[in-house]
Amino acid sequence: MGKKEKKNKSQRNEKNKHKFPEPLLKKLEEAGLDTKNLIFCCTGDMDNDACYRNAWLSFDEKGLYVAYGTEKLVKAKHKKHVEPSYTVEEITAIPIDDVDSLETERYVSTGRLIAVKDGEQQSVVRFSVGKLGQFDNLTKAFNSFKEKGEAEIPSSAEPEEKKCKKCGKPCPDGKDFCKKCGKNSAVAIRLFNFFGGYVPHIVAIIAIMLLGSAVTVFIPQVSTRALFDDILANPNGLPAVELIKALGVLVLSIFGIKLLNTLLTVIQQYLTGGIMPKVIYDIRVKIFRAMQRLSVGFYSSKQTGSLMERVISDSNNIYWFFVDGVPSVIIDTATIIGVLALMFIMSWKLSLIVIVALPLLMTALVLGDKFFRRLHHRNWLFGARVSSMVSDNINGQRVIKAFAKENDEFDRFSKASEDLMNSEIKLSVTEATVYPIFEVFILMLSTVVLGAGGVLVAKGEMTAGTLLTYIVYLEMLRGPFDFLSWVSNWWSRCADSAQRVFEICDAEPDIVEKENAVSFENLQGDIEINELEFEYEPARPIIRKLSLKVKAGDMLGIVGKTGAGKTTIANLIARLYDAKEGSVKIDGIDVRDLKLTELRRNIGLVSQDIYLFIGTIADNIRYAKPDATMSEVIAAAKAASAHDFIMKLPDAYETRVGAGGQKLSGGERQRISIARTIIQNPKILILDEATAAMDTETERNIQHSLTKLKAGRTTLAIAHRLSTLRDSDYLAVIDGGKIIEYGTYSELLKQKGEFYKQYKIQSEALKTIGIGTGEAETEEE
Amino acid sequence: MSSNTISPETLKTEYVLPEKCVFSLNPNGFLAAEIDGKVYKRVILTRSLPLSLPDEYICISDIEKNEVGIIKTIADFSKEQQELINSELSQRYYCPIISKIESIKEKMGHFYFDVLIGDTKKSFAVKDITKSIRQHGDAIDVTDIDGNRYRITDFESIEAKSRRKLEPYLY
């Protein structure tokens, strides 16, 4: 396919991105729907009574359409994958003039699409809550079409969820195959790619392993067959000297072979030990690099523990499988092949018995393993509950003691421990019952082989030494078979870890820098927010059509209740998240068009959540500018009113802070973080509840530091305590993601609206504790 | 009474009285109400304890999601009124009911459930199985990776085969 053809196809795909697949469109046409001018399509899964049913929703200039029918997955002709086949049963059309707008409502496990006309709501269809995002896109497209005559189609919109090409079930990751149908072999190939640079070593390791297996298989030939047939079974008996000599040679041969085997194992382990840490290093570094690339949204959606587990535990899982598992697989497989071949050579008649019994044994081992895995999993769950209870208890010690709940906590722990104990007892009892059954089966096999072999020896078809060697070989098969029966689970765990690792490596960051991103030429610091809309979860908007302007060098105070969306505005300006709709512009440039490093270098964020990294105070202050001189560090610390307390510490600027370091108070930590921002010298400063957790005196000190920091910068100050926003040039009162009041401090007080209300409440509270302000009265005058 | 004891009045919640609250259906089938003489064209009911006490402490909100009152127990209302309340709650708290578990297969850290919801076959994937299964009383809720919730109303009453499949993941 030529480049032009490919481009046309991709343009066609882009154009049809929000339409149903062709076969469905055809069926809808046959059912009487004109699909040529459909603007937006969306797939539902329930009817209006929340019964599962395929539903297809769409709209055009004339109306909103809801079609019901069935979608079946059928195997495509001559192909391995499945394709959907559609039947359309009914279509309901709602004239476009009968709907002013669409809304979605989120319930516990379902959602509802509602059509609004003259303020009256009417239910259109219900859907599973997982489809809320798609329905939200439909309402966005429909409402913008009604409002502006042109549908604004969200970039994330897809008419239907992606389905696995093999089984047709939904693919949560938007890939061609679901994880169930995804091939472990693909993961294996990707994992083996990490070994690309070590091919000669790998070849050497495998050769040594195979040689080791050959030696292992050869041992019984000397230790058993030669001993019995050539020495002990000599009909005439050997002279004592000859016998000792022969036995000596035999013992030395066995020793030599064992020594060779040990030597080969040592070389193999030496080679493996040399490569594997390097491979695991590559994997760890790759995960960590990928994690740095990802956006804040990724971290909010994953637990820190689970991410740490990916870096440490998952790479260890992979390590141990490759260090222990893979060599064992190669050695055991080679051993089984070698031993079976030798057994056939020694006696094909006895081998027939073994060939019949082995599959039975293997099946029993696999089933047994599956059964025990469930029991082990259950046991692990109880263990995990006990561990989390201990951790919960340690972290909550202050609260437990304050409420005198030690005994209750003990009872809770005892109950959980008892459950774990019972589960362990059940597991042990089951293991003690089931494993002997396997033993009996193996014993029966050995007995049958021994009996049949005895007959062959009696008939002269086989020597006693060969029979005993045969029995030794039979025993030798047990270990490798046992291992191979559960190694697939080990591999599953390794592949599972690898999959999680690759999930991070493959994750696309939400915030991506444009190819032709620009830099500031001479940054002034003008901020302009236009019709901003944002939501962390579908149908739960945080910011709704918010617009505001801040002139370069001015200070804007943002006030609002908890959850009003204040911090989200700060996050959107710093582009830690991207707006759903609308834009944030700095000096007239959309933040999405700016180079990320350029943007973030020019925005200083001082928030309530202060994070100090492991290192010295000086390291933390110069975090944003590693080449800052010590005099710059001291100047920044002085400006942040941090210098005095730092100098009182025994190691002053070399005091170690962060996890395991010197304990600092909230105010001290905040002053270090302000010093860090001062050294960054940003043009735009965001103070997000910077002093919310401080006592009045510390707050006053920090306010003093902040006043110095604000000079010559555009400042956005978010605060609960209105007194901290006294210096703002203007204030915006936010509620429910919208600006409800805007103006200067005194203007807002005069308006006697929400700001005035909050001011009065806070003043009353201060008066109650003996700090009268009387400011409101003064302002009102 | 010692001076630092909280008086019972402080912890008293005002409830909506059945005689001062009348529910009805608006022309579009949504729940409307008249509470203390004030008419609400549509009200939303939410349970405070949806798992343990689904019929008590029901919060009434207006269309703007501002709370207008709390019902202490549905049982205080007349039969007709109870029907209306229950119908609204059952829509909001509707959860597909699993009648049979056909299989649970683990692959690559995901658990794939094939179940029957009534007579309809349904497949879904669960990621963190221990956190996605919640037991409350005899019932079990399973939440899939898309946030959809499915319920087994009485674990003991579903067939033994289904029970055995889910048991290893319960604690």
pLDDT band at A173 (very low <50, low <70, confident <90, very high): low
Burial of B28 per CB tally in 10 Å (0-12, 13-18, 19+): middle
From the list A549, A489, A545, the residue with the least C-alpha distance to A524 is A549
The average confidence (pLDDT) of chain A is 81
Higher-pLDDT residue of A549 and A723 is: A549
**CA A136 – CA A131 distance, rounded (Å):** 9
Residues from chain A that touch B115, judged by Cβ atoms under 8 A, are none
Binary contact (B130, A381; C-beta < 8 A): yes
**CA A503 – CA A501 distance, rounded (Å):** 5
- What's the pLDDT tens digit per position in A403-444? 888 999 999 999 999 999 998 998 889 888 887 887 888 888
Q: Are A40 and A157 in contact (CB under 8 A)?
A: yes
Query: Average pLDDT, stretch A283-289?
Result: 82
Comparing A154-163, A402-411, A503-512, B162-171, the range with the smallest average pLDDT is A154-163
- A694 sits in which H/E element: none
Strand partners, A90: A68
Query: Average pLDDT, stretch A631-636?
Result: 89
- What's the pLDDT tens digit per position in B83-132? 999 999 998 999 999 999 999 887 766 788 999 998 888 888 887 777 78
Please say if the pLDDT value at position A767 is more than 70.
Answer: no
From the list A492, A216, A188, the residue with the least C-alpha distance to A366 is A492
Whole-number pLDDT of residue A149: 84
The string of DSSP codes covering A528-595 is: EEEEEEEEEETTEEEEEEEEEEE-TT-EEEEEE-TTSSHHHHHHHHTTSS--SEEEEEETTEEGGGB-
What domains can be seen in chain A, in order of their start residue?
A: 3-148 (2.30.29), 527-743 (3.40.50.300)
Q: What is the DSSP letter of A163?
A: B
Q: Which of A74-78, A203-207, A674-678, B87-91 has the highest mean pLDDT?
A: B87-91
Strand partners, A123: A114
Question: How many residues are listed for chain B in this entry?
Answer: 171
Please say if the pLDDT value at position A11 is more than 50.
Answer: no
**CA A237 – CA A240 distance, rounded (Å):** 9
The complex's ipTM?
A: 0.88
Using a CB–CB cutoff of 8 Å, tell me whether A182 touches chain B.
yes
Using a CB–CB cutoff of 8 Å, tell me whether A129 touches chain B.
yes
Residues from chain A that touch B54, judged by Cβ atoms under 8 A, are none
- What's the pLDDT tens digit per position in B37-80? 999 999 999 999 888 889 999 999 998 888 899 999 999 999 99
Sorted by sequence, the CB contacts under 8 Å of residue A372 that are 6+ apart come out as A427, A430, A431, A434
In the numeric block, the tokens 């991506």 are attached to: A512
Using a CB–CB cutoff of 8 Å, tell me whether A765 touches chain B.
no
Task: Using the Cα atoms of residue A462, residue A468, residue A472 and residue A475 in order, give the sign of their dihedral.
Answer: positive
- Three-state DSSP class for A609? coil
Q: Are B2 and B59 in contact (CB under 8 A)?
A: no
Backbone angles phi, psi at B96, to 5 degrees: -55, 135
Whole-number pLDDT of residue A766: 64
Number of H helices, E strands in chain A: 24, 19
Residues from chain B that touch A108, judged by Cβ atoms under 8 A, are 50, 92-95, 149
**CA A399 – CA A412 distance, rounded (Å):** 16
Using a CB–CB cutoff of 8 Å, tell me whether A213 touches chain B.
no
pLDDT band at A100 (very low <50, low <70, confident <90, very high): very high
Nearest Cα of chain B lies from the Cα of A751 at a distance, in angstroms, of 24
- What's the pLDDT tens digit per position in A290-336? 878 777 777 765 555 556 666 677 777 788 888 778 888 888 888 88
**CA A189 – CA B45 distance, rounded (Å):** 54
Whole-number pLDDT of residue A376: 79
Nearest chain A residue to B105, by CA: A180
Paired sense of beta strands B31-35 and A603-607, if any: unpaired
Q: Are A511 and A503 in contact (CB under 8 A)?
A: no
Whole-number pLDDT of residue A127: 93
